[in-house]
Amino acid sequence: MNKINQLFCNAGDRKLLSLYFCAGCPTAEGTADTLRAMQRRGIDMVEVGIPFSDPMADGPVIQDAATKAIRNGMTLSRIFGQLKAVKDEITMPLLLMGYLNPILQYGIERFCSSCADCGVAGAIIPDLPFKDYMETVKPVADRYDVRIIMLITPETSDERIRFIDEHTNGFIYMVSSAATTGAQESFDEKKQQYFRRVNGMGLRNPRMIGFGISNRQTLMSAQANAAGAIIGSKFVSLLNESHGADEALDKLFDALSQ
């Protein structure tokens, strides 16, 4: 069974926590140590960011991380090499998160094959058109048992959400707002209505809520309305200002308790 599906099957009522970091930031060789620290500390799932020069869905924190990673010489090929080196150590589901352009340059078939070879269970490609997913990417990804995770936002219609739910597997990434990534202090009533609307649809796939989770209030709100929460910008900031991933995780857990 794919590791993503297995995680949700085994979780029961336990709420999950997934973290994002950009490979190559703050250092080119830090990927393995960051993953090891996350696994030791009980993180359920990890999104490894593929740096890109024009990350349109990301706020300043992740844009800056991508810039640093590119300057550090990080490439998709290098990421795969680093992940393959720790394939036998890391049991958490790993996803690659990145934009379509570098993946197309690498090649869709080669990308999915490399994911399977390096223990990557899925990918999130924010700018992948759903038509291209259905016609080009999904058939290849299915062959390699790689889950392509699609995003929904408060502006996504019920009809489209149901269509995504019908044609994807793993989980649905619920973006908390239509804005770019970045920490928020709380989720307002409009976002809460969106969470309740999707909750009431009886979807087949579990949902994870991301974008804006940075403290206890936003974490609890996300976990109350989905299978778990995804934290990106907050952890990336802490990783940049800390001496290693363990210190960054200490600071993150402290922030999430307040």
Q: Report, as residue numbers or ranges, the catalytic residues.
A: 47, 58
What secondary structure does DSSP assign to 168-217, as a single string?
A: --S-EEEESSSS-S---S---HHHHHHHHHHHTT--SS-EEEESS--SHH
The strand pair at 94-97 and 45-49 is best described as: parallel
The first and second tokens of residue 188, run together, are 């307002």
> What's the gap between Cα 102 and its chain centre?
17
Crossing angle of helices 245-256/31-40, nearest 10°?
40
Cα distance between residue 222 and residue 52, in whole Å: 28
Cα distance between residue 45 and residue 135, in whole Å: 28
Cα distance between residue 83 and residue 95, in whole Å: 11
Cα distance between residue 185 and residue 214, in whole Å: 7
Work out whether the CA dihedral 52, 57, 60, 62 comes out positive or negative: negative
75 Cβ partners below 8 Å, 6+ apart? none
